[in-house]
Chains A and B, each alone.
Chain A
């Protein structure tokens, strides 16, 4: 077990390393993002007799919606050479408008604050500006419920809460210096998707009414109604503008 003295020395050594080798900064930003839910869906006439034969169309629906967001993160930079280095950041993104009606009025999706992790590399120009490229991994928590009046899944009543999906963005950014410690940043994240999230199957579904949220595996004898895949992938594109304040700076 470390003594108080050893702990103090260790703290000083680690702090010294961080302040001399890593630039630590705080970022705040605001912007707009475009969220896409990707579902596989079977479209077919809803009918109450099984004597009908259907030529089912399996396709993807990609309901999109936009929202304004605010974000904050803490970032560390490690200098690899005079002009180049790596960065990592952890933070959170908060939606300004969290609830949206999507998919021809069929669903309401509600977003929550999400944690993010960024890693990447930067190139520092002599003028003090930065060009950055990297990746941003986010965990998107959301709730999804049917409106019962929508165009695609009318009369269905299903609510699923506490869903979450991981999504990946390719990020590119440019930062311009305002003063020695303050920069303004403009960045764009292009959505790549990453992981499907499994939507829970509603237990009260029967063949004659609702087949929403059921994985459509039986294509030779399709169930009735519009089938929706049990999995959905989320991607998001994001534009943001903000400021970054260097708490410690290895360049100064």
Chain B
């Protein structure tokens, strides 16, 4: 029976003999560039607009009240809708956005990653195509701009995130094509936008009209917008990547991906009475369909090729 030490030495020796052959085929290539993403926002059914059904939240025409001799109000002028969609008239059904509505946002983010493939390249020039497995992992740096979505209702911040994919590498004389699939995690924050601001700043003539606690509906007292965090959302995609060697070290690449549908969830929600998501964030999220298509352009390097 072999001792444990002998077995260990034998194992290391075997690995040492195999290693040069294995490492000779491993290509680890760092990549850097930028990625432009096209976030597509859809919905699976019609979506309620922010709405509150309480009468006290309706604008009233003050001068429309008439009172009898006892001071009892006998007639109240019809309530007026403020913004017919976002502040519906008394007893009106909440407005909704039709199912086929589309929206989205364009994002531009820095891209840094690494590509690992396993291939023993043919001598060049060669007429034959070679096939190899390939894996990519990358980080996307936070987009500094706020996207305006849902026509001024919300603003969207896209945060630093990452993704990975794997596929098939087809190569010939330094020209490479990749086909594969993977996913990225979308991280972001959504906050109330101009439409909510417009409601917050409503200020009516003291003699003509009064209004109730509109401010508490739409904005915090410190005048900051309400925000909700998007739970890191896995967004799957299929991709095609073309790359070509432009020197001994540098390789230029373009990677395009076509995203599949995902449904977001929200964390860190404001109080439901804010009406940020029609008062029901869970319903808003489960009704949402998000897709992301993207194009990454950059340079990768044959720095760690063996």
Contact = CB atoms under 8 A, between A and B. Distances in A.
Interface of A: 32, 34, 36, 41, 43-49, 51-57, 59-66, 100-106, 123, 125, 127-129, 131, 147, 149-152, 154-155, 172-177, 184, 186-188, 190-191, 226, 237, 239, 241
A49 B83 contact: no
A51 B147 CA distance: 35
B209 A176 contact: no
Interface string B100-115: 1111111010000000
Count chain A CB atoms within 10 A of each CB in B49, B101, B197, B291 and give the residue with the most. B101
A34 B148 contact: no
A152 B240 contact: no
Contacts of B268: none
Nearest to B293: A32
A186 B175 contact: no
A55 B36 contact: no
A67 to B, nearest CB: 9
A56 B198 contact: yes
Interface of B: 36, 38, 40-41, 49, 59, 61, 80-87, 95-98, 100-106, 108, 147-153, 172-175, 177, 193-195, 197-199, 201-205, 207-209, 240-246, 252-254, 256, 258, 291, 293-295, 297
B59 A177 contact: no
A239 to B, nearest CB: 5
Top 10 A-B pairs, shortest CB-CB distance? A51-B208, A64-B104, A45-B82, A43-B198, A188-B295, A34-B38, A55-B201, A59-B194, A129-B244, A65-B102
Nearest to A58: B194
Contacts of B177: 176, 184
Nearest to B244: A129
A174 B253 CA distance: 8
Contact of A32 (B36, B38, B86, B197): B38
A25 to B, nearest CB: 17
Contacts of A41: 152, 194
B110 to A, nearest CB: 15
Contact of A154 (B61, B95, B104, B202): B95
Contact of B97 (A45, A151, A226): A151
B102 A64 contact: yes
Contacts of A125: 174-175, 244-246
